Amino acid sequence: MTDTPVLQGLKVLDLSHQYSGALAAALMADLGADVVAVEHPRHSPIRTMLPKKDGESLWWKVIERGKRVMAIDLSTARGREIVIDLARQFEVIVENFRPGTLEKWDLGPADLEAAGVNAVMLRISGFGQTGPDRELPGFGTIAEAISGFAHLNGEPDGPPTFPSTTLADGVAAVFGTMGVLAASWNRARHPGQPARVEVVDMALFEGLFRLIPTQIPALDQLGVVQTRPGNLLTSHGVLRNLYSSGDGRYFCVSAVGPAAIRRILVAAGADDLIARVDADVMEEDAAEVHEFLDACNAAVEKWAAAADYAELEQRLQAADAVHRHVYSAADIVKDPQFVARDDLIHVPDSDLGDILMSGVVPKFPGRSHTVASAGPRRGAHSDEILRDMLGLKPTEIDQLRIEGVIA
């Protein structure tokens, strides 16, 4: 085991004020990057989000973990100068303001490049940096609406359903991080190029849209607008649904392909349907496959309702069928698999003590990745960074604070 994190040495300046950009920077911090996050001296939207403990947002504690934090008003002339001076010392810059905002403050890619900044710049926004909607405001919910995700989720006879957490923001952050690392790898392959700011342009709706595989091909090739299937996915040619056991526990099964479907039917004792699988019903036309999978679903539903979950689980395990009951947070923290993979970690925090939160993903066997602290207090590292990175004297830092440029 080495103590060297995989991104050790990568320096990231995080100018984000919303979740998606902040998460992208946090993912890099998790893997060892030195991330300096800049927030407004007085107004930080993420700090207002619930739940809170002792006035501290748990969102902030998670999303700013592993970072050093300083507070600068980017809209002031002196704040702009400080950010440019800092940016010259970083390889990656992350921002998620509405397009045109940084340009208004003379902090856009062209401004930074003219000032000698040499970095990859991840820009996450609602609709991206181009196109007729580029200047419109947008949060993750809008992305979930226009990507097709909400339209495809929910019960067939019910309304579109949105996720209960920041799905579009999270997916955009992951794609954005991939873009940063791809651009950084390309730069490493071509050293000695002139200083420039290379933009990675990520719209909130695009990551989620990219993950939905067949909605556009189905329209193009079949003239079909896919609709909400609920939890039952026979329309995909798979056996997947949510079931309730006789003692009222929710669990799911999932099977792609005849071998996996057969295991579920073995657990349910559906011998007649097993015979149809063995007769290659899954190779028939779509109508027959749909009819067969509907029959499978009905059989599993009836079987599930007739027994307690413990008995059902035993049968499913014996058949090697893919299944699991639906976890709450209380289930997650007791699950030995989460524990074994360090997916639950205690992160120290100066306000709340140790906070249990999700671990570092992905894993790098042979490397050690730790999270040093949860999201710090506002401006916790302002003095340290201005002193050590820019050489400012204490009197100069005090004056900036008096002027409201920093906190």
How far, in Å, CA of 122 to CA of 130, rounded?
A: 14
Cβ atoms < 10 Å from Cβ of 175: 22
Cβ atoms < 10 Å from Cβ of 385: 23
- CA dist 163 → 3, 128, 142, 203 (Å): 37, 22, 12, 18
**Is residue 140 a contact partner of residue 21, using CB atoms and an 8 Å limit?**
no
- What are the backbone angles phi and psi of residue 380, rounded to the nearest 5°? -60, -30
Q: Where are the beta strands (DSSP E) in 309-354?
A: 323-325, 344-347
**Is residue 98 a contact partner of residue 137, using CB atoms and an 8 Å limit?**
yes
How far, in Å, CA of 113 to CA of 107, rounded?
A: 9
Q: Using CB atoms within 10 A of its CB, is residue 145 exposed (0-12), middle (13-18) or buried (19+)? A: middle
Sign of CA dihedral 209, 210, 211, 213: positive
How far, in Å, CA of 301 to CA of 292, rounded?
A: 14
Q: In sequence order, what DSSP letters do the residues of 46-98 get, joined into one string?
A: GGGPSPEETTEEHHHHHHTTT-EEEEB-TTSHHHHHHHHHHHTT-SEEEE-SP
The single residue of 30, 34, 169, 349 carrying the catalytic annotation is: 169
Active site residue 278: no
Positions annotated as catalytic residues are: 169
